A and B are shown apart, each in its own frame.
Chain A
């Protein structure tokens, strides 16, 4: 029997240039979105129902190429990074920015769209 999986398409608006995009998360937790139009980087968090819980502009000096990124290996997320990423809504932009930098250094993001 063939299984089909429906991905949820979520409409987001770049908080810098206002352009609209659709993203399709496949798992809960932290994701990054880098706008195709202006390159602005956003952190976003999805709950277990893949509903968007937090979406905010987190610009960095070395922004990633445009795209939609997820944590490639959630099990290997170091404990302190996990703590920041799971409490995204209550964490300052600076802490999130630093946590994203660390995750980037560790090669933990993979582009999914």
Chain B
């Protein structure tokens, strides 16, 4: 977490800042404990002998970084004995359930045999991962911190939610703004669930759906703003996603990118779940993220580091 961003949040919203810090600490302990448990005796296998070497190195590295293991000369790990973490925050407790369901797939993933989240067995884990108290809270916090107040209140604006998935990001935008939202996702099943979520939450009249890939969809008319909330690691070509956001937003409009990055220790752990659910990339690096934004010709207006990069950029 960025110290300056956290300080700003403390001034603006002390309870949220406190909760973010405390929950992040508990979350890290939980994930490390569960990850070490899931890897177990397999840690004796050197990382370079696994089918998915990049992922194996990532998993082993985070265990070492969080002092749950140490490297052995052959590239395997010596796991330390960890105490089960005490979890008091309900937002973190929900992650325990998710991890218990997804981590049994760890060795398959290390072998290079991952399934995609649309697989029936994974769909429920995917839904719980996207719709849990902690993630919902973070999305809402990100929107409150980055969307200017006049844009929140303006019912004449239209935003596009790129890679909306089953609609949890869309719901957060709808809750904290008065704008209309076009939700874009390539999968019919996702869009169908999104429509149910939106109707269930009473926002049916403010949402349209559009089937398309974030990299190349094209709306009939450019809109006032685009959101991409933890989308980029789900794309094979994230740079194209950002360029396409620019194409679909009016001049003077804004592009909001809320994205976990690998440099954040907590988020290095968070990438495990989407990767196990089929995301093509283990994570995004800060430097490449800002380079893609620059290459797309967007101008960064605001940037915070709070459990991810929270970026507001303008289309010049």
Contacts and interface: CB of A to CB of B under 8 A. Distances in A.
Interface of A: 73, 75-81, 84, 94-95, 98-99, 101-102, 105-108
B123 A106 contact: yes
Q: Is the interface of A mostly helix, strand, loop or mixed?
A: helix
Contacts of A73: 124
Contacts of A79: 94, 131-133, 136
Interface in B95-135: 97, 101, 120, 123-125, 127-128, 130-133
Contacts of B33: none
A106 B193 CA distance: 9
A73 to B, nearest CB: 7
Contacts, number: 56
Given A79-B136, A80-B201, 12 more contacts: A73-B124, A76-B97, A77-B128, A79-B94, A80-B136, A80-B171, A81-B200, A94-B199, A95-B199, A95-B202, A98-B197, A106-B124
Interface residues of B, number: 25
Q: Is the interface of B mostly helix, strand, loop or mixed?
A: helix
A107 B125 CA distance: 11
Nearest to A99: B200
Closest 10 CB pairs of A and B: A78-B131, A98-B200, A98-B199, A102-B196, A98-B196, A75-B97, A101-B196, A78-B127, A99-B200, A79-B133
Given A95-B200, A101-B196, A76 B128 contact: yes
A105 B126 CA distance: 13
Interface of B: 94, 97, 101, 120, 123-125, 127-128, 130-133, 136, 168, 171, 189, 192-193, 196-197, 199-202
B171 to A, nearest CB: 7
Nearest to A81: B131
B128 A78 contact: yes
12 contacts: A76-B101, A80-B197, A80-B201, A84-B200, A95-B200, A98-B197, A102-B193, A102-B197, A102-B200, A105-B189, A105-B192, A105-B193
A78 B97 CA distance: 11
B123 A80 contact: no
B96 to A, nearest CB: 9
B123 A107 contact: yes
A93 B62 CA distance: 47
Nearest to B133: A79
A68 B241 CA distance: 46
A78 B130 CA distance: 8
A43 to B, nearest CB: 13
A77 to B, nearest CB: 8
Contacts of A76: 97, 101, 124-125, 128
A78 B132 contact: yes
Contacts of B171: 80
Residue in B94, B125, B192, B200 whose Cβ sees the most chain A Cβ within 10 Å: B200
A80 B123 CA distance: 16
A98 to B, nearest CB: 4
Contacts of A80: 131, 136, 168, 171, 197, 200-201
